[in-house]
Amino acid sequence: MPEPGIGIEQVVGPADLGYPYGPIDVKYNLAVQNNAAVAITLTRVDLRSDQGATGSGAYTLRRDFYNFKQEIPPNSIGVVTFWAHAYSFGHNMRDTEPVTVRGVAYFSTPTGPTQKVFIRELQQFSQ
């Protein structure tokens, strides 16, 4: 079975909230491309930020998981939307630094469970 493709997009971030300092919720769209000839079901996503050696980024994600039961038909793309708890560093020199997210998407398939690891850098732009 071909492995699925994963894309993640930040929909609401610190810039949309006025660059607060402290706890915020960040909204994401997660797209799953099912490359198989059978339906698969997204069951869970683990997500955290990876600040790297420099500790940079506009915010830090709390390591958490999100449960879903989203069926993705064969050879199609499904999108789920969710909010994640984060800590924003306010309006300062880091507010436009990209945030690197690491995640694991878990799936139920006709041949058994599978997972896909993904790492994406999400750009932060002032509005």
- Is residue 80 within 8 Å of residue 29, measured between CB atoms? yes
The 10 Å CB-count burial string (b at 16+, else e) for 6-16 is bebebeebbbe
Q: What is the pTM of this model?
A: 0.91
Closest-CA residue to 28 (of 71, 77, 66)? 66
- Is residue 114 within 8 Å of residue 78, measured between CB atoms? no
Q: What are 44-61's pLDDT values in tens digits?
A: 999 999 875 556 789 999
- φ/ψ of 13, rounded to 5, equals -140, -165
C-alpha–C-alpha distance, residues 116 and 125, integer Å: 28
Whole-number pLDDT of residue 43: 98
End-to-end CA gap in the chain = 42
Q: What are 67-114's pLDDT values in tens digits?
A: 999 999 999 999 999 999 999 988 888 888 899 999 999 999 999 999
Q: What are 16-25's pLDDT values in tens digits?
A: 999 999 999 9
Q: What are 113-123's pLDDT values in tens digits?
A: 999 999 999 99
CATH of domain 5-119: 2.60.40.10
